[in-house]
Amino acid sequence: MTRRLTRILMLALTGFASILIVAVPVQPGATQWPMPDLLLMLCCYWVLRRPDCAPILVLFALGLIADMILMRPIGIGALTLVLITELLRAQIRTLRDTAFPLEWLTVAMLVGIGMLLQMALLWISLGTLPMPVEMAQYAGITILSYPAVALFCGGILGLRHRTSGKISYSNYLGEG
Amino acid sequence: MAYTSGQDQNSLWRTTRQILLGVIVLICLALFILWRIDSPRVERLQMAVADAVLPSLEWTTRPAAKVTSMVQDFQSYVRVYEQNEELRRELQAMNGWHEAALQLEQRNARLRALNNVQLSPQATFITGEIMAEGAGPFSRSGLLNVGSENGVMDGSAALDGLGLVGRISGVGEETSRVIFLTDINSRVPVILQPSGQRAILIGDNTDAPLIDFVEDTERVQAGDRVVTSGDGRVLPADVLAGQVIVSANGRLRLRLAADYQQLRFVRVLNYRPRPAIDQPGGLITDEQFFFGEEPE
């Protein structure tokens, strides 16, 4: 139980750190390339590895904070984050045994759909839309950052798939 | 018994989860709609969060700024010779300007003495540092470390040393958010000089915002100065924004006077719009007060 709490706390801290990294003003005003949505990638990776240590409320809170600090349209960033992670959570049994490139492809597709969803919501509410090229750039750079996030979480935080030897009844219940 | 209760718990847990998910989705949508309808209120919430996060931003911004300046220093070190030449040339040009400025200053002082001018004491400014940026496709804006405690107000103009950078939108106690001219939501009323035409500056996430709603584009030339017009009483008038350039497809765009490449410190003008005079004075029309009394 304490182990699980530590993991959740770790997710909250890394998530917050990833928001701050994205918010760092490297060349404010003259940015050529948007920063990737590191938080989204982190949460995707985390949900696929430790679904029981990524409570939906924590994800939601992180998404909302990111929306507010990064000055994105409030609410829809958090919405995409929660929906994407829930979809991944539902597919966890199939994705557990797939190779990393396939997992990456799944995440990439979901990111693309998420961006489309954001555009659609803005369009419906008569907001100013960014150009599709920019959204594509943003989605692309976000997707490209997934292996880096995976390397960081897997290598430094030691977050990998649970090996079959470790599966116990309590784990099973936690994932159910 | 143990199995059934486990399964019961499981299905109960699943239902709770689904309800939770539904509630969260609803909250997100409600927040989004609220943001679209009544953004000042949500903005206040946003600035409260920014106020809370500011201390941790200090931790990330300082090292990042240090690294950036080191990289820039290194780049300038690499091309030190060219830069030296450039500086020499600039210095020569500056000497001329220096002389001109001195003469103008003296003349100004003389004229002011003749006139007994009182300069507006309201045009003060405060400088803040950009602590975070929102540089995604949805916004081009920055978070400054000055706020209402420092006298920053919603709608104030933000400048660097050279020209207009943007407008303050959202003020917290210790933070404020500046929307750059390049943001897709930025609209600024401007005047093109010397033709004196009014136009609107529209940000579109590129480095050169569009100049739109120009009455007669024939009279506009590349290189014309663009200054704010002060219409709408949000920004002060006559703040330099940049120069007109004509893009390949014939549309007018703005080359920003502000140096967005080196943007780190931003001045926020403390400007209160003057009360508008849109009625004849009460003195002539009807007698509202006697001479002994003060009006209102």
* pLDDT tens, residue by residue, B118-153: 655 556 788 898 888 887 888 888 999 999 888 888
Q: Tell whether A27 lies on the interface with B, counting CB pairs under 8 A.
A: yes
pLDDT band, very low/low/confident/very high, at A151 (cuts 50, 70, 90): very high
Which residues in chain B touch residue A16, judged by CB atoms under 8 angstroms apart? Answer: 56
Do B12 and B95 fall into the same domain? Answer: no
Mean pLDDT along residues A1-16: 89
Q: Tell whether A13 lies on the interface with B, counting CB pairs under 8 A.
A: no
Q: Tell whether A9 lies on the interface with B, counting CB pairs under 8 A.
A: no
Evaluate whether residue B205 is within a structural domain: yes
What pLDDT is attached to residue B2? 45
Rounded CA-CA distance A12/A61 in Å is 9
Chain B neighbours among A 34-73 (CB < 8 Å)? 34-35, 37, 56-57, 60, 64-65, 68-73
Evaluate whether residue B209 is within a structural domain: yes
Higher pLDDT, B65 or B15: B15
Residue A176 predicted with pLDDT over 60: no
What pLDDT is attached to residue A12? 93
In Å, how far is B115's CA from the nearest CA of chain A? 42
- Contact B132/A24, CB-based, under 8 Å? yes
| Residue in chain B nearest A37 by alpha carbon | B136
pLDDT band, very low/low/confident/very high, at B44 (cuts 50, 70, 90): confident
In Å, how far is B181's CA from the nearest CA of chain A? 9
Residue A22 predicted with pLDDT over 80: yes
Do B129 and B264 fall into the same domain? Answer: yes
pLDDT digits (tens, 9 = 90+) for B164-194: 999 998 899 989 999 999 998 899 999 998 8
Domain enclosing residue B265, as ranges: 124-270
In this structure, is the dihedral angle defined by the CA atoms of residues B183, B34, B232 and B126, taken in order, positive or negative?
A: negative
Evaluate whether residue B291 is within a structural domain: no
What pLDDT is attached to residue B290? 54
Do B158 and B108 fall into the same domain? Answer: no
- Contact B263/A29, CB-based, under 8 Å? yes
Rounded CA-CA distance A133/A139 in Å is 10
Do B202 and B265 fall into the same domain? Answer: yes
Residue B134: φ, ψ to 5°: -110, 100
What pLDDT is attached to residue B24? 94
What pLDDT is attached to residue B252? 92
Do B215 and B98 fall into the same domain? Answer: no
Evaluate whether residue B83 is within a structural domain: yes
Do B206 and B254 fall into the same domain? Answer: yes
The region of weakest confidence among A13-27, B85-99, B272-286 is: B272-286
Crossing angle (nearest 10°) for helices B2-37 and B39-78 = 80
What pLDDT is attached to residue A126? 86
Do B130 and B263 fall into the same domain? Answer: yes
pLDDT digits (tens, 9 = 90+) for B63-114: 877 887 788 778 777 888 888 888 899 998 888 888 888 888 888 888 877 7
Q: Tell whether A173 lies on the interface with B, counting CB pairs under 8 A.
A: yes
What pLDDT is attached to residue B55? 83
What pLDDT is attached to residue B283? 59
Distant-in-sequence, close-in-space partners of A173: CB < 8 Å, separation ≥ 6: B6, B10
In Å, how far is A117's CA from the nearest CA of chain B? 12
| Residue in chain B nearest A126 by alpha carbon | B36
Rounded CA-CA distance B139/B141 in Å is 6
Residue B209 predicted with pLDDT over 50: yes
pLDDT band, very low/low/confident/very high, at A21 (cuts 50, 70, 90): confident
Count of structural domains, chain B = 3
Higher pLDDT, B277 or A126: A126
pLDDT band, very low/low/confident/very high, at B292 (cuts 50, 70, 90): low
pLDDT digits (tens, 9 = 90+) for B229-261: 888 878 888 888 999 999 888 889 999 988 888
Which residues in chain B touch residue A35, judged by CB atoms under 8 angstroms apart? Answer: 135-136
Do B90 and B220 fall into the same domain? Answer: no
Q: Tell whether A28 lies on the interface with B, counting CB pairs under 8 A.
A: yes
Helix (H, G, I), strand (E, B) or coil at A65: helix
Do B164 and B103 fall into the same domain? Answer: no
Averaged pLDDT score across all residues of chain A: 86
Q: For residues B256-284, b (16+ Cβ closer than 10 Å) or e, as one string?
A: bbbebebbbebbbbbbeeeeeeeeeeeee
Domain extents for chain A? 2-18+32-175
Do B12 and B89 fall into the same domain? Answer: no
- Contact A71/B141, CB-based, under 8 Å? yes
Do B94 and B201 fall into the same domain? Answer: no
In Å, how far is A134's CA from the nearest CA of chain B? 6
Residue B276 predicted with pLDDT over 80: no
What pLDDT is attached to residue B1? 42
What pLDDT is attached to residue A41? 95
Residue A83 predicted with pLDDT over 90: yes
Percent of chain B with pLDDT over 70: 88
Do B139 and B250 fall into the same domain? Answer: yes
